[in-house]
Structure 1
Amino acid sequence: MSIRFAAPKGAIRNRMAASRARLSRLRPANDNAPPAIASGDAALAAALRHFAAHGMAAAERALEQAEQARIQNDAQSFAWWVAICGQLDRQMARRISQSAP
């Protein structure tokens, strides 16, 4: 006995409204949330160099640098290292930026 698969009769309609469908294409489906840490191409390039130097421990090293900058009250360096950490591990960067005074 053979099995035949056929499309249902009648028009197949999209159940999602057109405006909602357009909004769903603005963000990739695998993103949980927009990045909390703003960073650009310079931070990405620095994060890649940092990863090349430190390997899998690069995010922890960037976190240590950010904490050191916070201890020294260097807000610009702190933001830079948080951005690099955010490129490597978004959750870790979010935690340290939330704990910042």
Structure 2
Amino acid sequence: MPRAQARAMRFQPANDNRGKRVASTHLHAALRHFAEHGLAAADHARQQALSAADAGDRQSFEWWLEICRALDRRMASRIDLPVQAGG
């Protein structure tokens, strides 16, 4: 890759959100969760969502699913449909 093209590329954002926005309340909660749990934050949020689903707590499930989605959209997408289909 030419040096000029490489320099131009470093200013382009790279994420997996693909234009989808996260509500600011979920984003702030996800950032606090990340500060507390570090790189394991998304998995921890996933576990919380699954525990809430097992307990039948739909509101907590949706909250933790959104936190997980803000941290790792792919991980959240793997739990989103199967759990919701059962509920």
Counterpart position of 1:16: none
Residue ranges of structure 1 left out of the alignment (5+ in a row): 1-27
- Which structure 2 segments of 5+ residues have no match? 1-12
Residues of 2 paired with 1:66 and 1:86: CA distance? 11
Cα gap change, 1:68 to 1:52, in 2 (>3 Å): same
| Larger gyration radius, structure 1 or structure 2 | 1
Q: 1:99 Cα shift?
A: 1.1
Percent of aligned pairs sharing the same letter = 51
Q: Which protein has the bigger helix share? A: 2
Runs (4 or more) in structure 1 with deviation over 2 Å come to 30-35
**2:9 is matched with which residue?**
none
TM-score normalized by the length of structure 1: 0.63
Tell me the matched-pair count.
Answer: 71
Find the counterpart in structure 2 of residue 83 from structure 1: 66
Backbone CA RMSD of aligned residues: 2.0
User: Scaled by the length of structure 2, what TM-score is found?
Assistant: 0.73
